């Protein structure tokens, strides 16, 4: 049984970490675990399919965004070279506006000085009509973010101009004695740019979460660009040219939900909603790496088999949930690490204090006869210092041994705590 559990656990961990090489042989599992193994394999295939689909969609979106920005940059270069003809510039701008309708992402363009909407592509216009309330929230958040976006991107563009000016003085940007024309937008990040977004100085990427009318959360990723924009209602070319901020809004709701589902499958116990053994081990290893001292408490629920056999597994599940909630009330990180075993992890609490709190809780459970079956647990607590002298597994093993010594010494015999039941 333990070998089968270990095989399944290792397989699921491989699926999450190395899906391309993860493999499971059903014949290596015990017969009772083969059905579970088939379900795990099916789930792994589903996770892999979802991962591939997300990757394909991400690549498609990246390509669409790159095509869009290439067109916007091309439009801007054309506008500078043909500034004598505003009509020709307007035609090119209208072409770019039409091209944005072919992407599935929403695109909003607002004036940088007046915050008026100057363009919205077809998906954005549809969203404004179909989800008016959510679209109003989206618009408000975009406009609230614009001053910060403009400030950051303006600063980085000025920095780029100064760097390019120094390069020209040093002779790095000269060709046949003439300087090359400086592009309007920086082309990418430079070494030493502190505080810049990952994608470079020409854009700022940020996340947004909104509540829909049916109380569901909607998640967006927004990439914002500061670009020149031509006002069609201006009387002269000087007033026509203004800065605008382009927001490319990508719906990330489904991806976020899938990530949460994968996280719950990997780290959350489905019965108690507590974190599981994998989470507990990673958390303790993290604290040890950070040099954080903490107290590890090992709790083993008593009389669970009697409860399951006498009152049914549903009552046993309720018993475990009750104990888990009671442990959570003590504070710290409570993790279910086995069928009837829990870890309680706390920083800033000495083992003696933790054992005192656990003993008080143990006595309250023993005194509670409302459920018709005895309730209790055995426990032990160990301090893991900031600079441990042994590996984590050694501390866990020592705490486990200490807990079983406590159980042997203090556990009340079942015959002394069994309540009268007509079925016995």
Q: 244 with 142: CB under 8 angstroms? A: no
Q: Which residues pair with 241 in a beta bridge?
A: 230
Average pLDDT over residues 212-234: 75
Query: pLDDT tens for residues 104-116?
Result: 889 898 988 888 8
What dihedral angle (degrees, nearest 10) is formed by the CA atoms of 130, 132, 137, 138?
Answer: 40
Burial readout 300-312 (b: 16 or more C-beta within 10 A, e: otherwise) = bbbbbeebbebbe
Best-predicted range by mean pLDDT among 28-42, 130-144, 227-241?
130-144
Provide the angle, in degrees to the nearest 10, between the axes of the packed helices 86-99 and 31-81.
170
Q: 405 with 416: CB under 8 angstroms? A: no
The answer on pLDDT for 360 being more than 70 is yes
Q: How confident is the model at residue 169 (pLDDT cuts 50, 70, 90)?
A: low
Query: pLDDT tens for residues 66-99?
Result: 888 888 777 777 666 655 555 555 555 565 666 6
Where is pLDDT greater, at 100 or 142?
142
What dihedral angle (degrees, nearest 10) is formed by the CA atoms of 69, 71, 77, 83?
Answer: -120
Pick from 371, 377, 288: nearest CA to 336 = 377
User: Can you give the pLDDT at residue 184?
Assistant: 34
User: Can you give the pLDDT at residue 234?
Assistant: 54
Residues in the chain: 424
The answer on pLDDT for 178 being more than 60 is no
Average pLDDT over residues 269-291: 95
CATH homologous superfamily, domain 268-417: Reverse transcriptase/Diguanylate cyclase domain (3.30.70.270)
Residue entry with tokens 């041994």 = 401
Q: Which two tokens stand for residue 275?
A: 């974190």
What does residue 82 show for φ and ψ, rounded to 5 degrees?
-120, 40
User: Can you give the pLDDT at residue 174?
Assistant: 36
All residues at 6 or more sequence positions from 381 whose CB lies less than 8 Å from its CB, including other chains: 295, 296, 297, 298, 344, 351, 352, 354, 355, 358, 399
The answer on pLDDT for 183 being more than 50 is no
In the chain, helix, strand, coil percent, each to 5?
Answer: 55, 20, 25
Average pLDDT over residues 196-205: 60
The answer on pLDDT for 403 being more than 50 is yes
Q: How confident is the model at residue 410 (pLDDT cuts 50, 70, 90)?
A: very high
Average pLDDT over residues 259-263: 85
Outline where 206-276 has alpha helix (H): 237-240, 253-267
* Parallel, antiparallel or unpaired: strands 117-120 and 106-111: antiparallel
User: Can you give the pLDDT at residue 294?
Assistant: 97
Where is pLDDT greater, at 422 or 78?
78
Q: How confident is the model at residue 168 (pLDDT cuts 50, 70, 90)?
A: low
Distance separating alpha carbons of residues 312 and 316, to the nearest angstrom: 7
Average pLDDT over residues 357-366: 95
Q: How confident is the model at residue 258 (pLDDT cuts 50, 70, 90)?
A: confident
Q: 297 with 379: CB under 8 angstroms? A: yes
User: Can you give the pLDDT at residue 172?
Assistant: 47
> 289: part of which helix (H) or strand (E)?
helix 277-290
Q: How confident is the model at residue 173 (pLDDT cuts 50, 70, 90)?
A: very low
Where is pLDDT greater, at 243 or 99?
243
Average pLDDT over residues 180-200: 38
Best-predicted range by mean pLDDT among 147-156, 243-252, 342-351?
342-351
The answer on pLDDT for 196 being more than 50 is no
Q: How confident is the model at residue 275 (pLDDT cuts 50, 70, 90)?
A: very high
The answer on pLDDT for 365 being more than 60 is yes
User: Can you give the pLDDT at residue 96?
Assistant: 62
User: Chain-wide mean pLDDT for the chain?
Assistant: 80
Q: Which of 238-247, 266-275, 322-331 has the lowest mean pLDDT?
A: 238-247
Q: Which of 195-199, 216-220, 314-318 has the lowest mean pLDDT?
A: 195-199
User: Can you give the pLDDT at residue 87?
Assistant: 59
Query: pLDDT tens for residues 128-141?
Result: 898 888 889 999 99
Instruction: Please report the beta strands in 161-293, taking only residues with DSSP state E, as ranges in sequence order.
Output: 174-175, 178-179, 204-211, 217-230, 241-251
Q: Which of 55-69, 321-335, 383-397 has the lowest mean pLDDT?
A: 55-69
How much of the chain exceeds pLDDT 70, in percent?
73
The answer on pLDDT for 230 being more than 90 is no
Q: Which two tokens stand for residue 347?
A: 């920083």
How much of the chain exceeds pLDDT 90, in percent?
34
The answer on pLDDT for 43 being more than 70 is yes
């Amino acid at each position: 049984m333990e070998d089968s559990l270990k095989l399944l656990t290792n397989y699921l961990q491989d699926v999450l970490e190395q899906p391309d090489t993860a493999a499971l042989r059903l014949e290596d599992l015990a017969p009772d675990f083969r059905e579970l193994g088939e379900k795990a394999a099916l789930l792994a295939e589903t996770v892999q399919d979802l991962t591939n689909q997300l990757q394909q969609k991400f690549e498609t979106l990246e390509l669409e965004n790159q095509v869009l920005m290439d067109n916007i940059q091309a439009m801007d270069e054309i506008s500078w070279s043909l500034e004598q003809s505003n009509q020709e510039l307007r035609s090119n701008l209208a072409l770019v506006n039409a091209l944005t309708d072919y992407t599935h992402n929403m695109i909003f363009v607002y004036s940088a000085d007046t915050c008026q909407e100057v363009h919205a592509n077809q998906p954005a216009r549809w969203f404004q009509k179909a989800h008016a309330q959510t679209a109003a929230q989206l618009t408000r958040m975009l406009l609230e973010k614009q001053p910060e976006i403009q400030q950051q991107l303006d600063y980085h563009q000025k920095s780029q101009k100064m760097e390019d000016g120094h390069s020209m003085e040093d002779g790095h940007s000269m060709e046949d004695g003439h300087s090359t024309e400086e592009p309007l937008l920086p082309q990418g990040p430079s070494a030493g740019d502190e505080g810049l977004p990952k994608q470079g100085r020409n854009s700022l990427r940020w996340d947004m979460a909104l509540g829909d009318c049916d109380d569901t959360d909607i998640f967006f990723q927004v990439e914002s660009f500061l670009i020149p924009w031509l006002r069609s209602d201006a009387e002269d070319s000087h007033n026509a040219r203004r800065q605008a901020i382009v927001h490319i809004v990508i719906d990330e709701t489904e991806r976020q939900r899938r990530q949460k589902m994968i996280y719950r499958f990997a780290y959350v116990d489905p019965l108690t909603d507590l974190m599981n053994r994998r989470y507990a081990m990673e958390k303790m290893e993290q604290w040890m790496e950070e040099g954080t001292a903490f107290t590890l408490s090992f709790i083993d629920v008593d009389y669970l088999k009697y409860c399951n056999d006498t009152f049914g597994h549903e009552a046993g599940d309720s018993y475990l949930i009750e104990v888990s909630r009671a442990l959570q009330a003590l504070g710290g990180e409570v993790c279910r690490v086995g069928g009837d075993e829990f870890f309680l992890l706390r920083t800033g609490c000495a083992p003696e204090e933790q054992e005192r709190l656990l003993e008080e809780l143990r006595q309250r459970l023993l005194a509670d006869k409302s459920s018709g079956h005895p309730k209790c647990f055995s426990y032990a607590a160990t301090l893991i210092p900031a600079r441990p002298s042994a590996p984590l597994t050694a501390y866990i093993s020592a705490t486990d041994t200490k807990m079983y010594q406590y159980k042997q010494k203090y556990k009340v015999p079942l015959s002394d705590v069994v309540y009268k039941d007509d079925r016995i």
